[in-house]
Structures are given as structure tokens and as C-alpha cells.
Structure 1
Amino acid sequence: MGRNIQLSVIIVMLVNYSTSFLTFPMSGRTFLDSFLRSISPNENILEHDFMKYAVPGHQCYRECSTKSQKVCYFKFQLEYYQVLGGACNDCAKGNQSQCFHDQCVTADGYERGFLSVNRQLPGPPIYVCKDDIVVVDVNNQMDGTATTIHWHGLRQVGTPFSDGVPFITQCPIYYGTTFRYAFHARDPGTHLYPSHSGQHKANGIYGPIVVRTEKEDSPLYDFDPPDFIMLAADWMHVYAEQYFPGLTSKLSIFESLLINGRGRFLNKTTCLFSDAPLTIYNVEQFKRYRFRVINAASNVCPFQLQIENHEMMIIASDGSSFKPVKADTLFFISGERYDIVVDANRDEVRDYWVRIRAMPPCTKEIEEFAILRYHKDPVKDQAVDFNFNDRKPPGWLDVFPDGRYFNSPRPDLMGIKLSTVEGNVIDKRITHAEPDYSFNLFIGTPQLENEVLFSGNNTIKFMVTSAKANYNNVGVFNNISLTLPHISLLSQPSEIDENMFCDKNNYRDKECIENSDICRCIHRIKVHLGSIVELILFDIHDTLTHPFHLHGHKFYVMDMGSFKTHMNVEKIVRNDVPSDSKETNETPPHKDTVLVPNPGYIRVRFRADNPGFWLGHCHFDWHLAIGMAVIFQVGELNQMKKEPKGFGECRSYLPRHF
């Protein structure tokens, strides 16, 4: 595989750390273990003096033990960087050996600028063990911009100030400054760290984070290699900001897909691929491998994964395991993660194609490949070999076996629905109880005609979705487009005014579009700490399949279905909802990101046991930017963590004297 997923280069993340951090006396080790185990969710670890026990992050990839935790330190530098720049020498001219030089980023073989983490794409992987403390210093060297990093899939129990959402849990990290994220890795599984600011993720700020558990002899697979991450993302040839709010002459669509930051751009004019290298997974024949599949996409299209002549056994999603499901085709949407097992059981020792393609509503035929490379001798045959597969990639119309679909967003290819799998971790106090709250959330990107959108003092954010049309779109939950406060809600509670918030009962008193039901305000849903909350998300108008992600919690997927007939809000309020849904699953899967069928609904349930302000939002970057989000306030302000000493504040500067 490429250097950015290999353990041998994780050291690049570490800067200026003395060798005194590399070893502990036995007494220090014993104290560290006791210290880490003694930290309760009610304590603020940012105020503990644990950095004297920190070790460089690469040392945290090890055999995990519940008796030996570590403080794992990483340093990220964010900066503008270049694809196929000077570090790549003659890589762009076909000399593939130079494509793997230190700090060479090839992407899809098209030269462009991008935003980087430690001059890598994707950013460096983080591997830690459950209950380690993770410390990441993020230094922003991106001139003229501010950002944050979100730890997608990690609930931040006890560490809400590290959730990484600007103006909700922290102030943005301004140019030239450093922000320290520190959290307890309580949530095992395959996760993702993206920027949570603007279109920074689409520009390259994202990477994998894996929280491993104590080794057990799994009967499902033989190997769980650290470099068997399959991180898929869409990729443009310009900075994504060019397409926000958008151009009337050209729609925002990505040019390529990347797998672990590698791919090959197909020039539709010349019908030739670029010479960039692909990701290679080396496997020993007749062995079974666990892959960690991550969707880091920013755009609107679900991805489809297939592996030539191989079926997949899907064993977990979003860090929670379920009864294994076998399929030929896996659909996964932005923010979702799946753990799959691939059996290298083919008799022919050769290269096999790993194919990921973008599905409707995207109309361009965009797909990308990696290579599953067989070996008979796991030592002798795995010499470094970056040669391209000697067989040409299959064409768009060349179909792999795809008889068994999993998690399909398409009504004509339903297959196995996510909501029907048997989860392994069930809390019947949530799944079988009556919820304390039940909220209907109607997702939408309503169209506003230009003469309405651009009249008067309207300042609502919008995006261009149809070239040369006389309308544009905004993002809403229940007709409310979220705007963010000018302070950080979690860290500046004394400056919160209850009148700053809105909900379905009072949103029309806020900034509203004339002659429209659409209003813009700080949309908040408040629930009691410890309550059981049920969300029913509906999509009755859009032609897209929206992914919904909830911060701070994981939810059970209780039910989902596609509507058989045209629906409207009135029918749903009357509970007149004809769909293809069957009876509720007694052992539902446990997730933090899920697709909402279109047209259809999904019902999820969780216990609001993590006090703070938590974002729930569509995981398409453009939809989040235009307001398709809502803030959940869990508990009262006096039940939330007090901001750490020295934690930054942000506010508008509006002096009264002039």
C-alpha cells in the first residue's frame, strides 16, 4: 500500500519528542495504568498532568491489553500543499518508483493544490487501544483560514470540548495557532477524523482512526493488518470552495474517487488513464483478512464496493458488531464505516480488482480501483512491487457478480436492509422502552426562486444545484435552516441567552424568507439528561439519499422503510405511513451514521446520557453548509462540563461607544 497508510511512516506525525518519553520505569507504568483507569466521565482530562507519560503515537500500535493503557501523542500540521509537486520528481512522467518518495502525494495523477495533514493524503492513520488517552495537537498553518477536527465515531464521553464543531464545542482554530484535542478512546472500532469546517474535508483534511481491543482469536478472520484500511473519498480538480454556493454554468461534481489517497484519473477526451499508482492489498492465498472500509466523501453519491470474484462477510458498522452478513455488493454512504472479511480463497494466484463506484444521483460514470494481490509465500512474494495490474480495469459496463446487495439506497436493488441485521450489543432499556421524547425531523433542500432568495435583506445560505435555473436550494430540518451562534455554546455558557434559540414552535419569529415557510436561526432541541430519545427522520421531497450523523451518541436503528405512495406532512402527522417496512427488529444495529431512504423514513433511538451540545446533521458537506443540521442540548447547563482553564473564547466585537 501507499506510504500514508503504512506504519513505517507514522513517525512523520511526531515532532520534537525526547527519548525520555519512550520508556517507563515499572513504578511509572503501574501508576499510569491506575491513573488512566481512575479517570471518570465526570472529570476533565485536559486539566490532568498526563503529558509526562505521553509516548509518540506510533508506539500505540501494539498488542492491546486492558492492563496496559498509554497516553498517545500525535502532532498534526495543516497546510496548503500540492499534488505531484517537487517531492514527486518524475512521478508524473511515468517513473513510478519516484511516486513513493517521502512527502509525494499523487492523488489521481492530476496536479492541483489541496489542504494537507502532515503533507499526506489522507492524513496519517491513528491506531490506539481502547481506553488509551489520545492527544492531538493541531497546528493550523493554512494562511487565511480557520478550521476544526471532528473525531467521527468517538462520542467524547467526558471530553465534549474535543468534539471539534466550531461555535458549538470550541472556537475555530485560527491561522497560526494550535489547539489540543485530548480524549479517552472509549469507543472501539473503525472511525474517521475529518475537518468540520466549510469544505476542508473535500479539500483533503481527513484520515482514519482505529480503536483496537484486546486480542481475541476471531473465528471469522486470520489477519487484521493495520494497512488494510479502505478509505474511499471523492476528489475534485479545484478547491471545493469554487463550488460553494456554486456556479450557474457548471455543477459541483467530483472528477475522481480515491482509495487511500490513490487513484487514476480517466481523461474522457483522450480516453487515457493517468499514470498514478493504485493502492495494493497483499494477501496470502487461502487466508482471511479483515478490511476497515470508510466513506470520507463530501458529495451526494453513495458508494458501491465490489471485489472481483470474492464475496464479503460484513461483520460491523460504525464500531458495533452484528451477526455476519454475506454479500457481493456493499453500499455505503458518507460517514459510514464497515468492517468486512475477505477470504483469499481463489485458486488462481493473480491480481483481483477492488472496485468502488459512485452511484445515482451522480450521473457521471466515476469509479476507482485498488488491487487485491495474491501471494503463495507471505514473506518472499511480498517484496515491494508497485507495478500496475497487467490486466486493464474493467469498463463501466463490465459487471462483477452482484446478486446479493447490502444497505442499498435504491428501491430496485434493496437486498439486505441494514435495519434487519442482528446487533450484538443490545440495551433493552432503550430498544424495548417507551421513549421520553419522540421528534419528527423532515429533511429537505427546498427550492427558493431567485427573485425571492435575492430580494430584500435575505442572507440565508444557499447552493446551486441546477445550471441556469431560476432557483437555488437551502438545507432544512422542519423548515429551519441552522445558523451558528457567534460564541462557543459549550465553553461560554454564561453568554447563552435562551432567546437566541429556535425550534418548531417559534422559528417563524426569527429571520425568515419572505413569502416562504423557510426560516434561519439557531435550531435547538433540548432533552433531559438520561432520557430516551426517538428521532424519526423523513425525506418526502428530495431525490437524494441523505446520510444523518449524530455527535456525542450512538443510536439503535429501530426501523426504516421506503414509501409506497406519495406522502405529505399531514399524512405523517396522522401516522398514515404506508411503506415497505416490516415489524421492528428485536436486535437492531447500533450506529452513529445512517442513510435516510428516499422517499422514506428511518426511526432511531438513543439514551441522551452525554451532557452537552451535540450536532445532528446531513453528512454531505454542502448540505451542512447550507443549514441542514440541528443542535441537541442534552441536560441543563449546570450538568455540563466546565470549560478547561485557558480554553479559548470567541465572540463578535460590537462596542457600544461607536
Structure 2
Amino acid sequence: MLSLYQTVQKTRTLSPVSMNLARKEIFLKLTYELLLLVSLIDRYVEGFICEKKADHCETSLVIDYGFTMIDSENGPVYTDNRKLFALKNSSIEVPLENVNTADGWNATQQLLTANKSMPGPTIFLYKDQSITIIVQNNLLNEAVTIHWHGIDQYGWPAMDGVAFVTQCPILPGQSFNYTFQPRFSGTYWYHSHVGNQRDMGLFGAFIVRKRVEDVPYEYQQIIQLHEWNHLYGAITLLKANLNGIDSSESMSILINGKGEFGDNMAPLQNYTVDINKKNLFRMINVGSASTFLFSVPGISLIVKETDGFPILETTVDEIIIYPAERYDFELDLRNKDPGMYNMRVHILKGKKLEKDEKIHGTAFLHVTNLRSTTVKPLDTTDRENKTVLNCPFGVYPNSPNTKCIPVSQLNSNEASLSLRFDLISRSQESSTFFLNFGFPKPEGYSSINGHRFIWPTVSALSQPSEVDTSCSGCDSETSCKCTHALTLKTGSEIIMVLTNVGSGSFNSHPIHMHGHTFEVLKMGFPTVTEDGNLEPSNDILCSTTLPNKDSQCNNAVWKDSSWNDYHNIPGINLLDPVLKDTVVVPYGGYSVIRIWATNPGIWFMHCHIDRHMAEGMAVMLNESFEEVKQFLPDGLPTCHSFMPQDASHASESSDGSYVSALIGFSAMSVLFFLLLVILVIILFRNLKTKLKKKQE
């Protein structure tokens, strides 16, 4: 396809008739480029872009309250035919960019936001640029932190943004200077890491660009997916007794903060692409719990990257995306007609990932062509035979026409294989950890190896001597509550076998590791029976005395002891494994991952389903800690509970000791007063005797 400049040059040698046609082509090109420019301004006006020539950039995020379906000038709004109107005066149309619409439900929902928008502003910078982001907490009641999800923070352990792990939370009115340097390009995101605040809207995209990009910046677009409940807020869903209402039940699915409830015709996200250009979509699951199934019916997806790292191109029809994951893809527009396509998102439920047909998310995809001035809706339907990426099983249950590609079957390309960054040298030591994620009976704790994580009350990174990580109450079949931590030896190779078996296995878990991008060496799956049921893998031995289904599986090992040397594990990929920072641990199965302990810090590792994390499915990785101090900035805040040494006296007041002390104090006062009276009487008598002698 000729550029605009080439088209203009070509017209100089044309006949009058051809000249008119060429002028029409120039006009269409100009019109398209202007429309594209306008759409880009609308998309990125709220974001921050670090200039390519800069070594360091600065920006800020102001954390404040936001509200759905309220305009700052016109107050409450309502939706009609994809537009917004002021409730007080229906003749006033309100610009869409001024309102957090969510699913268009008229009752206002309170949000916690970055810069008053949901999602927050996108931050763009280039690989190896350093950036300072000042986070200002303007909330009245809540503390906050910001985690830069997927950024490994090599050399910046205090910038990871996890409350009571890498920093003290930012109190109302306070600010925190996050300064760090991303080493790898890719699609990342930021979100609060205090409680479940990200479920209230506190998240946004964080894009680290390549210096030389395959797809120009103007043809890159962002998709942020999350579930929405307009009746109950995030804390209510987490903590309140809703009398049998499923707290994980979603009412709608939002794409970049926009969705619809039922047929209320709320505003939806629109994307425009040129059929003659490469168009890159950066997709992020920013949701709190839901597993999504994404597709563009009628168009195949060419997957290029996952969690920021390149893979060998893989073409699929649908992508399963778990909370916190990212997938970058291009659209296969070969032999496609211009027109209107739908992006479709469904929630997958249960261990079999069955599609919830009650709700779906939609965005409009406008596929344009310069020679076609009309945009018509196309009749696109799902293919009968389809390929699905990121299944948590080898065969999709009850779906014989579906081909599954588990994420472990993806392969890193040469660009990924060359990406390596170590702050300290790798050693020859190797350690293996088995970590079982679930809710083991009888306690049913949300836990790892039966350890329900209890958050420190100090910043573990900067106040390590004040953190108690002893977990003496746990054993192979007993759960406990403690501040669970694993020590990773400096420079060593770390193999982790993440399992999801035993009495506490109910569903799959998306596991995220801070401070690292790991290699996914292998995944083991449950067996899918002919009737569509799932039978857990037999590769894991939970107990020598109990069957796996009855064991808590807190001390798992390989059933085949020869696998203790991981090189002997069948199907393990040590050549070109996919790189991830978030991976699903399948129900009834496992994922084998590898890192090297060359990034000193205390790194959080947890399930990214918010309820599971909040209730204890987490662990701290104490990595190369003797090397940490050199990487900590001066002046980090400290925090702790106020518990003075003699506080026990105060606590005893409830059983009457305070009253006893008061009585004792009163008796001493009376005694002192009597002694004082006696002393005065003696002095008075002595004085009287002296005066009498003087008179004589």
C-alpha cells in the first residue's frame, strides 16, 4: 500500500481522469489519517508518555475517590442508546470521557481511582528508561500502595509496592516516590496492593515500549478486562454475610471500564483498525477473580507475547486469560471484509471452565479500508472447530471440537531467550520447593502448604528483625496461621513445583510471583474422562499413609523419586520455555517453574484471586537477603503497632487490677496525709514550748 507522500508524487504523471481518481484517494487517505489521529487523542489524552530521547521521566498518580455515572459538572447521568444525558436536564448530552460509566447502572458506586478515572491513566515509557512516579494519597480514610505488576524491580526492591512487605502503606495526605528502571519491554500494569482496593477501580496499564517496534505506536491498543457488580462494593462482597448470595457473582463484564447491564444500551468501548496495517492489541485481565474467554468471532488471533515476553507466533481462535495475565496479539485480517466486528468476553466458571451464558462483555471493532467508506455489521459466528489458548487441561471437557494449547506448550522465541539480567552471580546450588495451593480440610484455610499467611505489621523489607516468620504449628497434615516465608539462597537455582491437589483442591489458581519472570518448564493436568469429569494427576504423592484426596498435601513429593532430578521429568522443556510472571496452577495438576535467586529482596508470591490472597494464600520469598541493604534508599518510612513493654498492666485493667491499684493509691494518700498532720502537730508543740520558755 502506497504512503500518502508516494500517492501525491504519483499524481504528477497521471492523466486528468486518473488524476481525479488519485485526488479522491488522497482525500480518503487524509480523512482516514485525521480520523485515526482524533481517535488516538481520545485514547491517550489521559496517559503519560516518556519521550524517547529522555533518560529519566517523572509523572504522578493522585489517588482519590471516583464515582460511577456522575459527571463533575452535571451531576448524575443516565444512559440512552450508547450516550449519556444529565438526569436533571435530559437535553444535556454529557461527554463520555467525563464519566466512569461502568455498566451504566444508574445507582452510583464509589470507586478508588488514580486521577479519578477507571482504569487509571496509561503510563508509557521505553525499555531501560528510569521513571519517577509520585503517588499522592488524597483519600480521607484509606492507606494505599501501588504495585507495578510484572516489573521485576532489579535493584529496586523497595519500589515493588506491597504494603507491609516492601514498604509501609501511604497514609492519607502522604506521598511516596516510586523510582525504578524497567529492564524489559512489554505489557504490564499497576494496581493497589492494600487489601482488595484494585477491585474498587485502582488500576491502570503500564507499557514499556521497545526502541524499535514491529507495530508502530499509533496502531497499538489496550484491552483491560474485569468483572463488575453494581449492587455491592468490593468490601461488602468480601466481608458481609449476604445470606447465600454468591459473592463472586458478576453482573457484567467491563472492557476499559465500559460495559452494559442487560440491554440498557450503555456506552461500550470502540476500536478502529486499518485492514491494511498490522494492529497490536495488549490485553490485560485486571479483574479480581474471573477467568475470561476472549475472542473476535470471525477473526483469528496471532499471539505474539505473554506477560511482556515474546513467544513463537501462535494463531488461535480464543484466549483464556486468568487474573493478572497479559497477552499481546495481532488480528489475522487476511481475506476479511471491512465492517463491524464484535469483541466477545465470557466468564468461565468452575473447575471445568464452563461458559457462563448469562452475561458477556462486548466491544465494537471497526475494520476499515480506505476504498470502503461504509462500515456494516457483519454476521460472524464462532467456528465449530476452534483452537483455545491457555487451557488448564490437555483436552477441553465435553468439547470434542476444541483443540487446547496449554501455556506450557508455548515457546520463547530467540528474542526472549537472550533476555537475562542478574544482579549477583549464579551459583551451582539448586533447591526444589513443593507448594500446594488450596483450602485443606478440616480448617479450610486459604493457604499454601497449609500455611495461612498473616500479614506483618511492619515493613518486612526494611524492618526484618521485627517480623516473626516461625510457623511451628504446621506439619504435613495440620494447618496453621503465620507469616509464611521461604529463604532462597543467594545465586541458587530455584525449582518450584506448584501443585493443586489433595483435600483442599477445588479450582484452578492464577499464581503471581513478584520480583521475577519465571520459566514454565512443564504443566501436569488432570485426566479428562469420557463423561467429562476431571481426575487429579497421579504424578504427585501427598502422603505415604493417606490417599491424595484425603491429605492436606502440605509436604508433597514426586511419586516417581527419579524426578527429584528435574532433568528426568518427562516432557520438561529446558530449551525454550515460555516466560511468565503469572501462571495457572490447574485443578488436580501442577506447574513446574524455575528462577535464579539473583535479585535480592523480599518478594511476595500469591494467588491473584483477591479473596484467596486476602484470606491467606500467599508467601514471602526472602531472597539473597544479605545483599539487600545496598539496594535500599535512605529514609524509607518505618511502621509498627504501638505495644509498650508494660502494656500488660493496661490489659489487666479489665479484670479489676486497675481498681485495686486505685485503692492502693488512695490508701497511700491517706497514710501520707496522716503522717503530715502528725508532723505538723509535733512542730506546733515544739514551737509552743519555745515561745513559753522565752516568756519566762
Q: Higher helix fraction: Structure 1 or Structure 2?
A: 2
Amino acid at match of 2:134: D
1:124 pairs with 2:121: yes
Instruction: Say which of 102, 107, 113 aligns to 2:102.
Output: 107
Equivalent in the alignment of 1:442? 436
| 1:635 shift after superposition | 1.1
Which of 128, 153, 157 is 1:156 aligned to? 153
> CA offset at residue 644 of structure 1?
2.4
Match of 1:284 in 2: 274
* Alignment match, 2:176: 179
**Alpha-carbon separation, structure 1, partners of 2:359 and 2:177:** 38
Q: Residues 114 and 390 (structure 1 numbering): CA distance in 2 closer, same or farther, change over 3 Å?
A: farther
| C-alpha distance in 2 between matches for 1:326 and 1:476 | 36
Q: TM-score, normalized by length of structure 1?
A: 0.77
Alignment of 1:339-418 (within 5 A): 339-361=328-350, 365-377=358-370, 399-400=382-383, 403-410=386-393, 412-413=395-396, 415-418=404-407
2:226 corresponds, among 224, 233, 237, to 233
Query: Out of 514, 520, 533, which is 2:481 matched to?
Result: 520
- Paired residue for 1:256, among 252, 266, 290? 252
Q: Give 1:584 shift.
A: 1.5
Matched, 1:480 2:451: yes
Alignment CA distance shift 1:167-1:117 (3 Å): same
- 1:638 Cα deviation from its structure 2 partner: 4.9
Which amino acid in the other structure matches residue 375 of structure 1? T
Amino acid paired to 1:545: S
Asked if 2 retains the 8 angstrom alpha-carbon contact of 1:224 and 1:289, the reply is no
State how far apart, in whole Å, the 2-side matches of 1:175 and 1:157 are.
29
Q: Please point out which of 195, 198, 216 is paired with 1:198.
A: 195
CA 324–434 in structure 1, closer or farther in 2 if over 3 Å, else same: farther
Give the distance between the partners of 1:74 and 1:206, measured in 2 at CA: 16
Give the conservation status (yes or no) of the 8 Å contact 1:224–1:291.
Answer: no
Matched positions, count: 553
Q: Does 1:502 align with 2:470?
A: yes
CA contact (8 A) 2:147 2:191 kept: yes
Judged with a 3 Å threshold, the aligned counterparts in structure 2 of structure 1 residues 347 and 528 are, in CA distance, closer, same or farther, namely closer
CA distance in 2, matches of 1:107, 1:223: 30
Candidates 498, 505, 516, aligned match of 1:537: 498
Matched, 1:584 2:572: yes
Q: For the residues of structure 1 that align with 2:490 and 2:39, how far apart are their CA atoms? A: 40
Percent of residue pairs bearing the same amino acid type:
29
Residue 7 of structure 1 and its aligned partner are, at CA, apart by 5.0
**Deviation string, structure 1 residues 280-332 (Cα, Å, up to 9, x no partner):** 11111233211111111111x32111112110111111111111111111111
Question: Deviation string for 1:578-603 (max 9, x for gaps)?
Answer: 99x95122210111110011110010
1:91 Cα deviation from its structure 2 partner: 4.8
Aligned 1:293-304 pairs, distance under 5 A: 293-299=283-289, 301-304=290-293
- Whole-angstrom CA distance in 2 between matches of 1:127 and 1:577: 48
Q: 2:70 aligns with which of 82, 85, 94?
A: 85
Question: What is the rounded CA distance, in whole Å, between the counterparts of 1:4 and 1:524 in structure 2?
Answer: 51
**Residues 508, 598 of structure 1: alpha-carbon distance in 2 compared, 3 angstrom cutoff:** closer
CA contact (8 A) 1:315 1:325 kept: yes
Query: Are the counterparts in 2 of residues 91 and 99 from structure 1 also a CA contact under 8 Å?
Result: no
Check the 8 A contact 2:80/2:264 in 1, yes or no. no
1:458-487 Cα shifts (integer Å, max 9, x gaps):
xxxxxxxxxxxxxxx421111101111111
Secondary structure of the corresponding residue to residue 343 of structure 2: strand
How big is each residue's C-alpha offset from its partner over 1:51-108, in whole Å with a ceiling of 9 and x where there is no partner? Answer: xxxxxx43x1x5x4xxx33322222112222111034855524572645355311111
Amino acid at match of 1:245: K
**Paired residues for 1:16-27 under 5 Å:** none
Offset at 1:242?
Answer: 0.4
- Sort the Cα spacing of 1:653 and 1:7 in 2 relative to 1 into closer, same or farther, 3 A: farther
Q: Is the 8 A contact 2:393 2:525 kept in 1?
A: no
Q: Which runs of 5+ in 1 are unaligned?
A: 14-56, 267-272, 450-472
Worse-superposed segment, 479-488 or 632-641: 632-641
In the other structure, the counterpart of 2:139 is: 142
- Could you tell me which residue of structure 1 aligns to residue 686 of structure 2? none
**Secondary structure, aligned partner of 1:231:** strand
Superposition RMSD in Å: 3.3
CA drift at 1:612: 0.8
Measure the CA separation in 2 of the matches of 1:177 and 1:78. 11
AA partner of residue 569 (structure 1): C
The aligned counterpart of 1:600 is 589
**Is the 1:553–1:608 contact (alpha carbons within 8 Å) kept by the matching residues of 2?**
no
> Structure 2 counterpart of 1:229, which letter?
I
Q: CA deviation at 1:421?
A: 1.8
Partner residue, 2:543: 570
1:93-145 superposed Cα distances (whole Å, 9 cap, x missing partner): 45726453553111111232222211111010011011111211111222211
For 2:204, which of 204, 207, 216 is the aligned residue?
207
Structure 2 residue 453 is the aligned partner of structure 1 residue 426: no
Q: Which amino acid aligns with 1:317?
A: T
Residue 415 of structure 1: SS of its match in structure 2?
Answer: strand
Q: What's the CA shift string for 1:33-68, capped at 9, x where partnerless?
A: xxxxxxxxxxxxxxxxxxxxxxxx43x1x5x4xxx3
* Structure 2 residue runs without a partner (length 5+): 1-34, 85-92, 397-402, 528-534, 545-555, 564-568, 648-696
Distance in 2 (alpha carbons) for counterparts of 1:320 and 1:540: 29
Q: Aligned in 2, Cα 1:642/1:215: closer, same or farther, shift over 3 Å?
A: closer
In the alignment, is the contact (CA less than 8 A) between 1:170 and 1:648 conserved in 2? yes
Amino acid at match of 2:239: P
* Structure 1 residues 623 and 577, CA gap change in structure 2 (3 angstroms): farther
Mean CA deviation greater in 304-313 or 409-418:
409-418
Indicate yes or no: 2:522 matched with 1:559.
yes
**2:333 aligned with 1:324:** no
Q: CA deviation at 1:175?
A: 1.5
Instruction: Tell whether the 8 Å contact from 1:69 to 1:131 is kept in structure 2 after alignment.
Output: no
Aligned to 2:399: none
Give the AA of the match of 1:517.
T
The change in CA–CA distance for 1:391 and 1:86 in structure 2 (over 3 A counts) is farther
Q: Tell me the alpha carbon deviations over residues 321-364 of structure 1, each in whole angstroms, 9 at most, x when there is no partner.
A: 11111111111111111111113335432100111111122756
User: Structure 2 CA distance, aligned partners of 1:157 and 1:4?
Assistant: 38
Residue number in structure 1 paired with 2:299: 310
Which letter does structure 1 place at the counterpart of 2:451? I
Question: What is the alpha-carbon distance in structure 2 between the residues aligned to residue 411 and residue 250 of structure 1?
Answer: 33
Q: Which amino acid aligns with 1:407?
A: N
Q: TM-score, normalised by structure 2?
A: 0.73
